């Protein structure tokens, strides 16, 4: 009971959006975050609605709530190729969050609602930095609402699925080559639907397996606001107010995980996430007015990635549970089309976690994630803009979970 409570708490922690390759964020639980962001084959109570709705079927308490957030402090450094020019981002902290509430209807059925932020990206370069004609600042945000239902087929096997209603918005600004005060801003929001389905299997007392699929959600912006700040002489060709359409995929994920209760106190967890980034082929902008001049197709040609993760959880006492983990998240970007709008390098990350359980019902989950983007020299060939990038993200998080 106590263990499950801790596990649930951990699950809650996992809800915090995690900063992963591309613009995916997997910080949907501080417990999961502490364990290398694993969770597919772990019973995490209400939190399982994100990581594996199949595991929700196994929830032990009657009702389970979890709430949490993380603060992503992200740093990007850049050195232009064949040059001593250095640039750094001045990113404000982004705060992915999660909320889960789930309850058991009866012995077989569980239902719940999950709200989480699985995609996001925010980079703020200086307005006059070397790559200003590619991007000055960008912020992507998505919030997913997921009503979920799970069914316990047997004591060993659970399945679950949720319908995802996703809302998203994007804001970006890039410079135009009409002098230092020229730039374009694009702002749009949209919504779409998707799903999340999973299977959870207790192969033995100690061994659990999990399989989860989260569908792609295509964020199609229609009639977003475009503002062009250009010299008056150019306004005949480039109207200062315009509307644009664009689409950005939030890629599908297939997660396969295993967890092993090595001792009464030690839980080990490992999994592979297969992220189907290859659907991000291009970023196309279509404008309502002067489209013949302004429309652009920008190749991205992302490739699918495999992310291996490991994590461990140790119940030290009734009060304290410790976690540790790590993962390797390779960049989905294409060699030829690496843009500073989404600086996504090969990431090596480690995680730490701590849960404090003052009463049986309540758990406070702390997590810390550090992501090191491995230095690499990249070019965006269509603009002949390249250089060396290196990133780091420091992400503390906190969550609470309450169950009864």
Partner 1 sequence: MKLRILFVLVAAASLWACQPEINEFEPTKGSADFSVYMSAGNSLTAGYAGGALYRSGQENSYTAILAKQFEAVGRQGAFKIPYINTEDGIGIQGATLRTKLVMGYSTDCQGNTSLAPVPANPNASQQELAILLGTSVAADGPFHNIGVAGAKITHLLAPGYASLNPFYARFASDPANAVINEIGQIQPTFFTLWIGNNDVLTFALAGGAADEITAVETFAASLEAIIMTFKASATAGAIANIPNITDIPYFTTVPYNPIVLQDQTLVDQLNAGYAQYNAAMEQFGLPHRISFTMGANPMVIQDPTIPTPPGYEMLRFRQISEAELVLLSIPQDSLKCGFWGSMKPVPGQFVLTMDEKSEIEAAIIAYNQIIESAAQNNDLALVDMNSVLKQGSTTGIKMDGVLFTADFVTGNAFSTDGVHLTPQGNALAANTFIDAINKKYNARVPKVNVADYEAVRLP
User: How far apart are alpha carbons 173 and 175 in whole angstroms?
Assistant: 7
Q: Is 12 in the site for partner 1 (CB under 8 A)?
A: no
Helix (H) or strand (E) run with residue 309 in it: strand 305-315
Contact 20/347 with Cβ under 8 angstroms? yes
Please report, as residue ranges, which positions from 170 to 229 form the binding site for partner 1 (by CB under 8 A). 175, 177-180
Q: Is 106 in the site for partner 1 (CB under 8 A)?
A: no
What are the angstrom distances between the C-alpha of 232 and each of 238, 291, 293?
9, 19, 17
User: How far apart are alpha carbons 14 and 101 in whole angstroms?
Assistant: 14
Spell out the residues 6+ positions from residue 233 whose beta carbon is closer than 8 angstroms to its own. Answer: none
Question: Could you say which of 113, 157, 218, 234 contacts partner 1 (CB under 8 A)?
Answer: 234
Closest approach of Cβ 124 to partner 1, in Å?
Answer: 14
- Kindly tell me which of 116 and 389 has the beta carbon lying closer to partner 1: 389
Spell out the residues 6+ positions from residue 263 whose beta carbon is closer than 8 angstroms to its own. Answer: none
Question: Could you say which of 39, 160, 330, 397 contacts partner 1 (CB under 8 A)?
Answer: 397
Q: Residues touching partner 1: how many (CB under 8 A)?
A: 53
**Interface stretch with partner 1, choices 111-119, 158-166, 261-269, 374-382 (CB under 8 A):** 374-382
Question: Could you say which of 4, 60, 63, 79 contacts partner 1 (CB under 8 A)?
Answer: 79
User: How far apart are alpha carbons 145 and 115 in whole angstroms?
Assistant: 5
Contact 396/71 with Cβ under 8 angstroms? yes
Spell out the residues 6+ positions from residue 291 whose beta carbon is closer than 8 angstroms to its own. Answer: none
Between CA 92 and CA 99, with CA 93 as vertex, the angle to 5 degrees is 145
Q: Is 335 in the site for partner 1 (CB under 8 A)?
A: no
Question: Could you say which of 40, 61, 110, 391 contacts partner 1 (CB under 8 A)?
Answer: 391
Q: Is 75 in the site for partner 1 (CB under 8 A)?
A: yes
Question: Could you say which of 130, 161, 217, 315 contacts partner 1 (CB under 8 A)?
Answer: 130
Q: Is 233 in the site for partner 1 (CB under 8 A)?
A: yes
- Kindly tell me which of 191 and 299 has the beta carbon lying closer to partner 1: 299
Q: Is 34 in the site for partner 1 (CB under 8 A)?
A: no
**Interface stretch with partner 1, choices 114-122, 132-140, 240-248, 278-286 (CB under 8 A):** 132-140
HSE at residue 299, side-chain half, CA atoms within 13 A, is 11
- Kindly tell me which of 240 and 375 has the beta carbon lying closer to partner 1: 375
Burial state string for 339-378 with b = 16 or more CB within 10 A and e = fewer than 16: bbbbbbbbbebebbbbbebeeeeebbbbbbbebebeebeb
- Kindly tell me which of 73 and 163 has the beta carbon lying closer to partner 1: 73
Closest approach of Cβ 394 to partner 1, in Å?
Answer: 4
Q: Is 96 in the site for partner 1 (CB under 8 A)?
A: no
Dihedral over alpha carbons 280, 351, 99, 192 (to 10 degrees): 0
Binding site residues, partner 1, CB under 8 A: 69, 71, 73, 75-80, 82-86, 88, 93, 128, 130-134, 175, 177-180, 231-234, 364, 366, 368, 372-373, 375, 377, 382-385, 388-392, 394-398, 400
């Amino acid at each position: 009971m106590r263990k499950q409570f801790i596990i649930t708490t951990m699950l809650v922690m996992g809800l915090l959006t995690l900063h992963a390759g591309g613009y995916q964020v997997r910080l949907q639980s501080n417990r999961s975050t502490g364990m290398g962001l694993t969770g597919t084959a772990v019973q995490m109570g209400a939190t399982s609605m994100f990581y594996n709705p199949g595991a929700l079927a196994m929830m032990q308490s009657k009702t389970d709530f979890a709430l949490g957030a993380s603060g992503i402090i992200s740093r990007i450094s850049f050195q232009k190729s064949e040059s001593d020019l250095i640039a750094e981002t001045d990113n404000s902290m982004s705060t992915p969050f999660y909320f889960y509430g789930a309850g058991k209807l009866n012995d077989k059925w569980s239902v719940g609602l999950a709200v989480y932020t699985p995609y996001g990206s925010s980079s703020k370069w200086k307005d006059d930095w070397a790559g200003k004609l590619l991007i000055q600042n960008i912020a992507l945000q998505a919030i997913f609402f997921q009503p979920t239902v799970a069914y316990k087929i047997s004591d060993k096997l659970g399945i679950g699925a949720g319908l995802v209603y996703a809302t998203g918005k994007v804001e970006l600004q890039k410079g135009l080559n009409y002098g230092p005060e020229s730039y374009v801003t694009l702002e749009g929001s949209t919504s779409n639907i998707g799903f999340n389905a999973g299977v959870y299997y207790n192969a033995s007392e100690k061994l659990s397996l999990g399989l989860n699929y989260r569908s792609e959600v295509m964020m199609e912006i229609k009639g977003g606001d475009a503002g062009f700040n250009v010299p008056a002489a150019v306004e005949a060709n480039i109207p200062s107010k315009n509307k644009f359409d664009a689409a950005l995929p939030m890629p599908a994920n297939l997660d396969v995980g295993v967890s092993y209760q090595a001792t009464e106190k030690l839980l080990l967890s490992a999994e592979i996430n297969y992220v189907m980034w290859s659907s991000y082929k291009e970023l196309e902008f279509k404008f309502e007015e002067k489209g013949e001049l302004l429309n652009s197709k920008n190749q991205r040609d992302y490739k699918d990635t495999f992310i291996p993760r490991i994590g461990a959880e140790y119940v030290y006492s009734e009060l304290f549970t410790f976690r540790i983990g790590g993962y390797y998240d390779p960049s989905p970007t294409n060699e030829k089309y690496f843009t500073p709008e989404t600086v996504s390098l090969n990431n090596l990350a480690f995680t730490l976690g701590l849960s404090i359980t003052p009463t049986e019902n309540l758990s406070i989950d702390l997590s810390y994630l550090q992501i090191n983007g491995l230095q690499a020299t990249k070019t965006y060939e269509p603009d002949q803009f390249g250089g060396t990038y290196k990133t780091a993200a420091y992400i503390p998080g906190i969550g609470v979970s309450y169950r009864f």
